[in-house]
């Protein structure tokens, strides 16, 4: 395995655009065209004819992207070799079944004459007619192209209320909203969109307060589908933005509330994405496009909002430390999303990058030192040599915030010149190629494991190990000066403010359809003076009647004929570190198995006696056993509620039927019991309760 220092010579590159050489298309003329008509034609290139520019690789990056380009694309050059053909014959050729949608788009990009010919509605009606079934149709001939683009990108599936079934033309549609209020500041801290379109009448008249997934919600927000729909939704939007802005202490809506609330929602979405990774990346990018499109619509509707956004970012970037303190900017994540709509500031500007990265680095000192207190004591004098140990500890202490930054920057790169138009064709949804691209980006970001990959993802020059070691000393001084920590501070007494219940609640989502192997990995530490401690990971198997079949644990390491394997105790006495891993080959499980319940329990003492316990629940890529996809994770919060608790139901892997897709539900239910003879009964009660609530 390569050392951390080796990674500087193999920087992890995360390209934002993947270019490929366009493939040549073969044009086949339908035999139905009269050959005599073609023989009578004399085709000669005009004097000013030029070779056609090759089709852009992104344009032909797939059928769905090509369709959208056809809706709003422009020809690349002048080369009217087909201009002598009568329009009827040319359209007849283009309607041939020998030509695919991608072929038509490629032809439309070769010259202005073919571009104009490819706009003929008869061609797109012919292509649309090849589909076996569709829920949409075109009102006029010129609408068939848009209808086909919508179908290919699945943009018509969710354009109606999940409860009343009304469409966006009949009522205002929006999304259920879950939010939390910070008990200290009394301001809304996290705002999350739930799945499933909901109409205004369903929320206000029928009082619907649970989603199609039985998630309870308290608020509702209209979304941008069309300009007409947005105008009808403006009063409800202003009501929502006002409700989410209690810190303003007013009953009157202000346009800046829209920017603050939507940026906070995007930040919440990215925090969830950071925590759950590829499992939610498709849904996350769709919601990101919905939120950003709504923000753009608000900027167009409220002329002063653009100036507010540019001024807010300008103060942070150009105002120096006084404008970047936590008192002025409590959360960097709540203003970073505004860069995607700013006309004055871009992430590509080195001044913008430096402002955000330097302030983020200063704020991370507290949390790095909380995990590694020794780093707060830096030697005097100049830094003359790098310390890989310091760099490794810096990374471990800031890995979560680093991942957040990478995801923020990745979302800022999603929009190209034509993407906005494409989204309007698809009712605000992203083109499929954008979703696929972002899923690939998510996998790469989740696998970044050290500083070179981090800086590459942020499009920032990668500092040398010496430069980064010296930066740590400056971070310490800056954090002290800004009051983020104090000299002699007891970092062990520092508690994170805690994540919102949105991030800890039991979320259920489908596992990848081709899931093959799942691994639960648990690690813990113990204090040297307390003696060795054990935190036992267990997997309990249940059938479709919720009848218990068996436990797989430290004392019974094989289950279901070898489909479930427990590693047993893996102890590193030098590091005072313990590890348990449970590997499940889900495709080999019996068809009678419905659910696997994963628990952690202290062998002796309470959970509070265990130091730094963490659990990761991952799926393994069949093509690459080293590639792990995080499905869910549980992090302990050291607080009084852990006293007396000995067990936690971490998560459940389950399926509705033997043929259904596996799903993961994260729980985090504290209780009693231990993984040994006289301790299973209390654990079984907790597991039975969790299964009933699925």
Ranges 111-120, 616-625, 645-654: which has the least confidence = 616-625
Tell me what the mean pLDDT of segment 436-446 comes to: 80
> What per-residue confidence (pLDDT) applies to 265?
92
Look-up of token digits 């797109």: 124
Distance in angstroms between the alpha carbons of the first and the last residue of the chain:
41
**To 5 degrees, how large is the angle CA 674–CA 677–CA 682?**
45
Residue 30 has pLDDT above 50, yes or no: no
- Residues 483 and 541 reside in one and the same domain: no
Assess whether pLDDT exceeds 70 at residue 9. Answer: no
pLDDT at position 174 is: 92
Count other Cβ atoms within 10 Å, centred on residue 254: 18
How high is the mean pLDDT of the chain?
75
Q: How far apart are CA 90 and CA 216, in angstroms?
A: 57
Q: How far apart are CA 608 and CA 645, in angstroms?
A: 8
pLDDT at 421 over 80: no
CATH of the domain at 515: 2.60.60.30
Question: How far apart are alpha carbons 662 and 71 in whole angstroms?
Answer: 38
pLDDT for the residue 54 = 41
What number is the average pLDDT over the span 527-542?
81
Examine residue 84 and state whether it is found in any structural domain, yes or no: yes
Most confident of 134-138, 402-406, 642-646: 402-406
Res 671 pLDDT > 80: yes
Domain boundary among 437, 461, 493: 493
Q: Which band of pLDDT confidence, cut at 50, 70 and 90, is reported for residue 6?
A: very low
Cα distance between residue 100 and residue 298, in whole Å: 39
What pLDDT was estimated at residue 454? 92
Q: How confident is the model at residue 275 (pLDDT cuts 50, 70, 90)?
A: low
Stronger pLDDT, 122 or 230, i.e. the higher one: 230
Does residue 448 surpass a pLDDT of 80?
yes
pTM of the full structure? 0.56
Mean pLDDT calculated for residue range 7-30: 36
Q: Are residues 272 and 414 in the same domain?
A: yes
The mean per-residue pLDDT over the stretch 576-584 comes to: 85
Q: What pLDDT does 408 receive?
A: 87
Q: What is the pLDDT of residue 609?
A: 60
* 380-419 burial code (b ≥16 CB/10 A, e <16): eeebeebbeebbbbbbebbbebbbbbbbbbbbbbbbeebe
In a shared domain, residues 460 and 511:
no
Under DSSP, the state recorded for 269 is: H
Reference 397, options 361, 437, 433, 369; nearest CA is 369
Question: In the structure, what pLDDT confidence band is assigned to residue 12 with cuts at 50, 70 and 90?
Answer: very low
643: confidence class by pLDDT, cuts 50, 70, 90 = low
**Greatest Cα pair distance in the chain:** 99
The boundaries of the domain holding residue 687 are: 506-692
Lookup: tokens for 319? 């105002």
Q: Lowest mean pLDDT: which of 425-429, 461-465, 477-481?
A: 425-429
Distances (CA, A) of 529 to 572, 575, 601: 16, 13, 21
- Beta strands, E only, 381-529: 508-510, 517-525
Which of 249-258, 307-316, 496-505, 666-675 shows the lowest per-residue confidence on average (mean pLDDT)? 496-505
User: Do 593 and 658 belong to one domain?
Assistant: yes
pLDDT, average across residues 207-212 = 83
Is residue 415 domain-shared with residue 557, that is, in the same domain? no
Same-domain pairing of 448 and 481: yes
The per-residue pLDDT for 619 is 65
Q: Does residue 225 form part of some domain? A: no
Confidence bin at 45 (pLDDT 50/70/90) = very low
The answer to whether residue 1 sits within a structural domain is no
pLDDT at residue 28 in the model: 34
Q: Output the DSSP codes for 577-632.
A: EEEEEEEEEGGGS-TTEEEEEEEEEESSS-GGGSEEEEEEEEEEETTEEEEEEEEE
Q: Is residue 588 part of a domain?
A: yes
Would the pLDDT of 341 be above 70? yes
Q: Looking at the structure, tell me whether residues 435 and 516 fall in a common domain.
A: no
Does residue 283 register a pLDDT over 80? no
Name the pLDDT band for 662 (thresholds 50, 70, 90). confident
Question: Considering the chain, what percentage of its residues have pLDDT values greater than 70?
Answer: 68
> Closest Cα partner for 606 from 515, 665, 673, 556?
673
Positive or negative CA dihedral for 683, 684, 688, 689? negative
Token pair recorded at residue 595: 């659910």
DSSP 70-108: HHH--------TTTTS-HHHHHHHHT-TTS-HHHHHHHH
Tell me if 80 is assigned to some domain: yes
Among 141-150, 191-200, 532-541, 564-573, the minimum mean pLDDT is found in: 141-150
Measured distance CA(319)–CA(337) in Å, rounded: 19
Beta bridge partners of 618: 519, 630
Asked if residue 385 has pLDDT above 80, the reply is yes
Between β-strands 564-566 and 647-654, what pairing exists: parallel, antiparallel or unpaired?
Answer: unpaired
Cα torsion 371, 373, 379, 382: sign = positive
User: Is 80 exceeded by the pLDDT of residue 256?
Assistant: yes
Q: 31-67: b or e for each residue (b if 16 or more CB lie within 10 Å)?
A: eebeeeeeeeeeeeeeeeeeebeebeebbbbebbbbb
Is residue 428 a part of any domain in this protein?
yes
User: Helices 101-108 and 63-72 meet at what angle, rounded to 10?
Assistant: 40
Instruction: For Cα atoms 571, 574, 577, give the angle at the middle one, nearest 5 degrees.
Output: 40
Confidence of residue 124 (pLDDT cuts 50, 70, 90): confident
Predicted local distance difference test score (pLDDT) of residue 134: 55
| Co-location of 558 and 516 in the same domain | yes
The predicted structure's pLDDT at residue 175? 92
Q: How confident is the model over 245-251, as a mean pLDDT?
A: 88
Q: What is the pLDDT of residue 253?
A: 93
- Are the C-beta atoms of residues 661 and 513 closer than 8 Å to each other? yes
Per-residue confidence at 610, pLDDT binned at 50, 70, 90?
A: low
What are the structure tokens assigned to 126, written together?
A: 């012919």
Lowest mean pLDDT among 80-84, 220-224, 521-525: 80-84
Question: What's the rounded mean pLDDT across residues 513-523?
Answer: 75
Q: Do residue 605 and residue 479 come from a single domain?
A: no
Average pLDDT over residues 392-403: 86
Rounded average pLDDT over 17-37 = 36
Mean pLDDT of 579-600: 90
Domain finish residue from 152, 180, 200: 152
Residue-level pLDDT at 59? 38
Instruction: Give the residue from 463, 493, 523 where a domain finishes.
Output: 493
DSSP state of 176: E
Domain for residue 160, yes or no? no
Instruction: Please tell me the total count of domains within the chain.
Output: 3
Number of H helices, E strands in the chain: 20, 17
Same domain, yes or no: 417 and 440: yes
State how far the Cα of 682 lies from the Cα of 645, in Å rounded to an integer: 11
Examine the domain organization and report whether 535 and 608 are in the same domain.
Answer: yes
Residues 6+ positions from 150 with CB-CB distance below 8 Å? 136, 156, 425, 426, 427
Q: How many CA atoms lie within 13 A of 638 on its CB side?
A: 12
Q: pLDDT value at position 473?
A: 85
475 and 533 co-located in one domain: no
Note whether 296 and 223 are within 8 A (CB): no
Report yes or no on 344 lying in a domain: yes
**Helices 388-412 and 255-276, axial angle in degrees (round to 10):** 130
545: tokens are 């009647």
Place of tokens 């007494």: 493
The torsion angle over the Cα atoms of residues 278, 279, 282 and 286, rounded to 10 degrees, is -110
Q: Are 118 and 94 in contact (CB under 8 A)?
A: yes
Give the pairing of strands 564-566 and 558-559.
antiparallel
User: Quick one: pLDDT at residue 264?
Assistant: 92
323 and 317 in contact (C-beta within 8 Å)?
no
**Which span out of 12-21, 58-67, 306-315, 567-576 was modeled with the highest average pLDDT?**
306-315
Q: Is residue 459 scored above 80 in pLDDT? A: yes
Cα separation, 290 vs 287, in Å, equals 5
pLDDT tier for residue 55 given thresholds of 50, 70 and 90:
very low
What is d(CA 399, CA 188) in angstroms, rounded to the nearest whole number?
Answer: 25
pLDDT tens string 155-175: 555 677 878 888 878 899 999
Cα 648 to the center of its chain, rounded Å: 27
């Amino acid at each position: 395995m390569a050392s951390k220092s080796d990674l500087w010579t193999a920087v992890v590159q995360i390209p934002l655009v993947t270019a490929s050489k366009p493939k040549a298309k073969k044009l086949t003329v339908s035999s139905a065209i009269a050959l005599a008509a073609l023989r009578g034609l004399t085709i000669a290139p005009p004097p000013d004819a030029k070779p056609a520019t090759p089709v852009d690789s992104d344009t032909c990056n797939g059928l769905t992207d090509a369709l959208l380009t056809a809706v709003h694309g422009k020809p690349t050059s002048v080369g009217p070799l087909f201009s002598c053909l009568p329009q009827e014959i040319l359209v007849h050729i283009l309607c041939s079944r020998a030509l695919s949608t991608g072929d038509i788009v490629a032809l439309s990009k070769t010259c202005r004459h073919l571009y104009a010919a490819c706009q003929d509605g008869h061609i797109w009606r012919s292509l649309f007619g090849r589909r076996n079934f569709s829920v949409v149709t075109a009102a006029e001939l010129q609408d068939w192209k848009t209808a086909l683009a919508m179908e290919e990108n699945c943009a018509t599936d969710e354009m109606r209320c999940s409860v009343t079934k009304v469409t966006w033309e009949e009522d205002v549609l929006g999304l259920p909203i879950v939010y939390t209020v910070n008990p200290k500041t009394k301001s809304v801290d996290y705002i999350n969109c739930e799945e499933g379109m909901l109409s205004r009448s369903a929320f206000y008249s029928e009082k619907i307060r649970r989603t199609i997934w039985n998630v309870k919600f308290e608020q509702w927000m209209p979304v941008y589908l069309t300009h007409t729909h947005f105008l009808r939704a403006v009063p409800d939007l202003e009501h929502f933005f006002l409700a989410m802005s209690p810190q303003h202490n007013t009953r009157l809506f202000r346009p800046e509330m829209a920017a603050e609330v939507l940026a906070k929602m995007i930040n919440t979405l990215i925090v969830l994405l950071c925590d759950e990774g590829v499992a939610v990346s498709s849904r996350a990018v769709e919601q990101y496009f919905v939120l950003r499109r709504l923000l753009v619509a608000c900027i167009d509707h409220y002329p002063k909002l653009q100036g507010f956004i540019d001024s807010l970012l300008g103060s942070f970037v150009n105002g120096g430390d006084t404008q970047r303190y936590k008192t002025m900017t409590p959360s960097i994540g709540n203003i970073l999303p505004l860069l995607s709509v700013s006309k004055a500031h871009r992430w590509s500007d080195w001044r913008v990058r430096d402002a955000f990265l330097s302030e983020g680095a200063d704020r991370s000192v507290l949390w790095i030192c909380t995990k590694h207190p020794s780093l707060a004591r830096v030697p005097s004098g100049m830094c003359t040599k790098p310390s890989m140990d310091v760099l490794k500890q810096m990374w471990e202490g800031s890995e979560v915030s680093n991942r957040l930054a990478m995801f923020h920057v990745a979302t800022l790169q999603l929009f190209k010149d034509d993407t906005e138009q494409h989204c309007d064709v698809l009712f605000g949804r992203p083109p499929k190629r954008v979703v696929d691209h972002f899923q690939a980006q998510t996998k790469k970001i989740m696998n970044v494991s050290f500083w070179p990959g981090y800086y590459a993802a942020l499009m920032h020059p990668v500092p040398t190990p010496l430069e980064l070691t010296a930066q740590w000393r400056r971070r310490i001084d800056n954090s002290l000066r800004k009051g983020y920590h104090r000299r002699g501070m007891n970092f062990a007494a520092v508690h994170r403010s805690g994540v919102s219940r949105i991030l800890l609640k039991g979320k259920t989502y489908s596992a990848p359809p081709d899931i093959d192997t799942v691994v639960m990995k648990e690690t813990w530490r113990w204090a040297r003076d307390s003696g060795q401690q054990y935190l036992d990971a267990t997997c309990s198997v249940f059938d479709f009647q919720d009848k218990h079949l068996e436990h797989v644990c430290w004392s019974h390491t094989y289950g279901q004929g070898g489909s479930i394997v427990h590693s047993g105790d893996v102890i590193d006495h030098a590091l005072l570190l313990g590890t348990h891993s449970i590997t499940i080959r889900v495709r080999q499980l019996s068809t009678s198995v419905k659910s696997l319940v994963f628990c952690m329990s202290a062998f002796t003492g309470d959970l509070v006696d265990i130091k730094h316990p963490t659990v990761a629940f991952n799926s393994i890529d069949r093509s690459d056993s080293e590639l792990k996809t995080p499905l869910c994770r549980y992090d302990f919060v050291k607080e009084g509620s852990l006293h007396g608790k000995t067990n936690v139901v971490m998560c459940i892997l389950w399926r509705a039927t033997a043929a259904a897709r596996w799903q993961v539900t994260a729980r985090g239910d504290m209780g009693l019991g231990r993984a040994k003879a006289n301790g299973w009964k209390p654990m079984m009660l907790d597991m039975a309760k969790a299964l009933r609530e699925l």
